[in-house]
Each structure stands twice: as structure tokens, then as C-alpha cells.
Amino acid sequence: QKEVEQNSGPLSVPEGAIASLNCTYSDRGSQSFFWYRQYSGKSPELIMSIYSNGDKEDGRFTAQLNKASQYVSLLIRDSQPSDSATYLCAVNTLDANFGNEKLTFGTGTRLTIIP
């Protein structure tokens, strides 16, 4: 079982609609959750972090966390063509080999906003 799972997409959403991106994780001990946006040929850019159950809003972005169900989601309201990118979910996990915590990334969901 993958530690962090995302639907690879592509996910196509009309401009102005809500884009919904989902992520599930396997480590019940995870406490920190992040969404990164990565444009083609660029590096990941942190857009949201969430640590508590519930919703966290930042502009057009809302992160939702449900630790009991082990999923975290990202909603993008009023989607714009500039939101077209790959969105990476990252979760802190315990590295069994070294006893340290690290970020484990999903493979990402490719989002395309259709004008």
C-alpha cells in the first residue's frame, strides 16, 4: 500500500468551477499535511498546510482534513487557467529505518482548467 495516494488525473475542470483534489494516507500517526503546486518544468510551491481536523481557508483555496478517515483534500474555488498544474499532497511520516519524521509525497494530480 502506498503511503500517500492521489488520483493521477488528469482532472479537467471548467473555468470558474470548483476543483476538488483528494489525497489519502496510511500512517495514522501523521500530524502535518501539505499541498504543493508544481507547474510543468518548475519546482513544487507550498500553497497550503493543515494540522487540525476541519477546514482551513486561504483565498480561493480550502484544505480539508479528516484524520479518522485518513484523507485530506484541496478545494480551489473560481478555478482559473493559471491553476492548471500538478498538485502534490505531502504528509509527515515516521521513517522506520532512521526513526526520524519526514515528508512523504504522493505522485500528484494533474489539474487542467478549461477556459
Partner 1 sequence: ETGVTQTPRHLVMGMTNKKSLKCEQHLGHNAMYWYKQSAKKPLELMFVYNFKEQTENNSVPSRFSPECPNSSHLFLHLHTLQPEDSALYLCASSQEKRLAPYEQYFGPGTRLTVT
Q: Which residues pair with 85 in a beta bridge?
A: 111
Comparison of 13 and 89: residue with beta carbon closer to partner 1: 89
Comparison of 34 and 73: residue with beta carbon closer to partner 1: 34
Comparison of 61 and 105: residue with beta carbon closer to partner 1: 105
Residues 24-63 that bind partner 1 (CB under 8 A): 31-32, 34, 36, 42-46, 49
- The grid coordinates listed for 102 are 519526514
Render 85-102 in DSSP notation, one character per residue. Answer: EEEEEEEEEE-TTTS-EE
Q: Which residues pair with 21 in a beta bridge?
A: 74
Comparison of 45 and 57: residue with beta carbon closer to partner 1: 45
Closest CA to 24 of 66, 75, 59: 66
Dist CA 28 CA 104 (whole Å): 13
- When binding is defined by CB under 8 A, the residue of 71, 94, 101, 112 that contacts partner 1 is 101
82 binds partner 1, rule: CB under 8 A = no
Dist CA 99 CA 80 (whole Å): 42
88 binds partner 1, rule: CB under 8 A = yes
Binding site for partner 1 (CB under 8 A): 4, 31-32, 34, 36, 42-46, 49, 88, 90, 92, 95, 97-98, 100-108
